[in-house]
Amino acid sequence: MKTDLSYGTYIWHGPIINLLLVLGLRSIPAAIALTVAAAGASWFLVERPVLQLKRQSLKTAKSS
């Protein structure tokens, strides 16, 4: 199983850092932890299921 968190990390780091700054929390460890958690959740709950749907539709198209 391939897990690619780099795109999620890229997408989520900005909003998380901005949220922490707005809340007055200047914590690099918290930013890293929240970014990795958001990237992981994004991968497992959104990206991976959508990619599996794509593969299924391509297999269906080839067999027709």
Identify the pLDDT of residue 15.
Answer: 97
Identify the pLDDT of residue 21.
Answer: 97
Structural domain contains residue 49: no
Identify the pLDDT of residue 33.
Answer: 97
Q: How far apart are CA 42 and CA 38, in angstroms?
A: 6
**Given its phi and psi angles, is residue 24 left (phi above 0), alpha (psi -120 to 50 degrees) or beta?**
left
Identify the pLDDT of residue 5.
Answer: 83
Q: How far apart are CA 13 and CA 9, in angstroms?
A: 6
Structural domain contains residue 47: no
- DSSP H helices, 1-64, are 6-22, 28-42, 48-63
Query: How many domains does the chain contain in total?
Result: 1
Q: Is the pLDDT of residue 2 over 80?
A: no
**Per-residue model confidence as pLDDT tens digits over 21-60:** 999 999 999 999 999 999 999 999 998 888 888 766 666 6
Q: What is the mean pLDDT of residues 11-28?
A: 96
Domain of 23, in residue numbers: 1-41
Asked if residue 38 lies in contact with residue 18, where contact means CB atoms within 8 angstroms, the answer is no
